[in-house]
Amino acid sequence: MRVMVIVKATKDSEAGRLPSAELMAAMGAFNQALIDAGVLIDAGGLKNSGEGARVSLDGADRKVTRGPFANVGELASGFWLWKVKDLEEAIDWVKRCPTSAFGPFEIEIRPLFEMEDFG
């Protein structure tokens, strides 16, 4: 199964603070372990929401709202796409993720739809 692993934003990531060199090295080692295990499909970090926009669609109507956005803990600051055997394997990998010196943060795991889900 494929999953999207969503790293939630923090006040520090939204302020544009970059991770320390130590955390970047630890994340590099973690990503290499994912690659070596054949799990990693793709990954990326997102710039803060102040550099983004949302487009609301309602029929023919389009409304653009430029960031920054409130509710920091509901925003994404990065992601991975992984191929794992099941949700438990994804959870096990997330538990190994290096943590930030900026304080607590949350990671969400969401399975992707596969063609067989549509019967």
> What's 74's domain CATH number?
3.30.70.1060
Q: Is the distance from CB of 76 to CB of 10 less than 8 angstroms?
A: no
> Does 119 reside within a domain?
no
The total domain count for the chain is 1
> Does 76 reside within a domain?
yes
pTM, whole model, 2 decimals?
0.91
Q: Which pLDDT belongs to residue 39?
A: 98
> Does 90 reside within a domain?
yes
> Does 39 reside within a domain?
yes
Q: Which pLDDT belongs to residue 101?
A: 60
Q: Which pLDDT belongs to residue 102?
A: 61
- Ranges of residues in the chain with a pLDDT under 50 are none
58: domain range? 2-114
Q: Which pLDDT belongs to residue 119?
A: 87
Task: For the chain, give the number of residues.
Answer: 119
